[in-house]
Amino acid sequence: MFDRLKLLIDIDKLKDKTVLVIGLGGVGGHAFESLIRSSIENIIIIDSDKIDITNLNRQILAYQNTVGKYKVDIAKKIALNINPNINIKTYKLFLDESNIDEIFLNKIDFVIDAIDTINSKKIIIKKCLKENIPFISVMGTGNKMHLELLEITDIRKTEYDPIAKKIRKMIKEENIKGKVPVVFSKEKPVIKGKIGSNAFVPAAAGLIAASYVINKLLEEENGK
């Protein structure tokens, strides 16, 4: 199944790793599927939403025959169809202060934050820093047209992103010292006000996040 991947990496080093993906939209859905196809066998997914007709232009879980169904249910079916050995845990909930502690009782080796709710992003970042769990947080991808302007950096070095601006404010006001790695776009928004989206920028951001996770997990196993 993973013969081509084995030419690049020792997939056995990923077998016991568990990745938590929060949000299965345009960003998180692509990150999720990429992790499955990268031999991650233990995965936790969180999303309270059902697939909507408006998701068809950018979300990998969205098809005419999946509209109206829960994203976590469709994601689980896809994961098992790719790799029947997947150990997948699903949560149909909106992550907030009332349930985050419960979620983090699970064994978690890495977190991908792929949501756009500011308060939830804040509590995820603070929880990961407190528990010393590696993570990557994806900033806004709406109103952007150039995927080549996406990059990974610390939140303190971001610009042109309203979500990042609010997270930076929290980091400064609460005097948070730890590194906060994020995927963000250097591109100025194409429009202001309503949020437009396309198929490629959110997808690219999700793939970048998944790549970051896989490479960091392998570096950890290789003692780098």
Q: How is residue 222 written in tokens?
A: 């290789």
Asked if the model's pLDDT at residue 76 lies above 70, the reply is: yes
Q: Give DSSP secondary structure letters for 59-111.
A: -TT--TTTTTSBHHHHHHHHHHHH-TT-EEEEE-S--STTTHHHHTTS--SEE
Q: What 8-state DSSP symbol labels residue 49?
A: P
User: What is the sign, positive or negative, of the torsion defined by CA atoms of 96, 47, 110, 84?
Assistant: positive
* Residue 146 CA: distances (Å) to CA of 83, 107, 163: 32, 36, 18
pTM confidence score: 0.97
Q: What is the pLDDT of residue 223?
A: 74
Which residues are bridge partners to 43 per DSSP?
19, 88
Mean pLDDT of the chain: 96
Q: How is residue 63 written in tokens?
A: 């098809």
User: In 3D, which of 156, 123, 158 has the Cα closest to residue 139?
Assistant: 158
Asked if the model's pLDDT at residue 4 lies above 80, the reply is: yes
Class of 11-221 in CATH: alpha beta
- In percent, how much of the chain has pLDDT > 90? 95
Lowest-confidence pick of 87-91, 100-104, 217-221: 217-221
Instruction: Give residue-wise pLDDT tens across range 138-185.
Output: 999 999 999 999 999 999 999 999 999 999 999 999 999 999 999 999
Domain boundaries, the chain: 11-221
Q: What integer is the mean pLDDT of 25-36? A: 98
* Residue 79 CA: distances (Å) to CA of 41, 45, 109, 141, 184: 9, 11, 19, 25, 27
User: What is the sign, positive or negative, of the torsion defined by CA atoms of 123, 126, 132, 135?
Assistant: positive
Q: Which residues of 26-48 are buried (b: 16+ CB within 10 A; e: fewer)?
A: bbbbbbbbbbbebbbbbbbbbbe
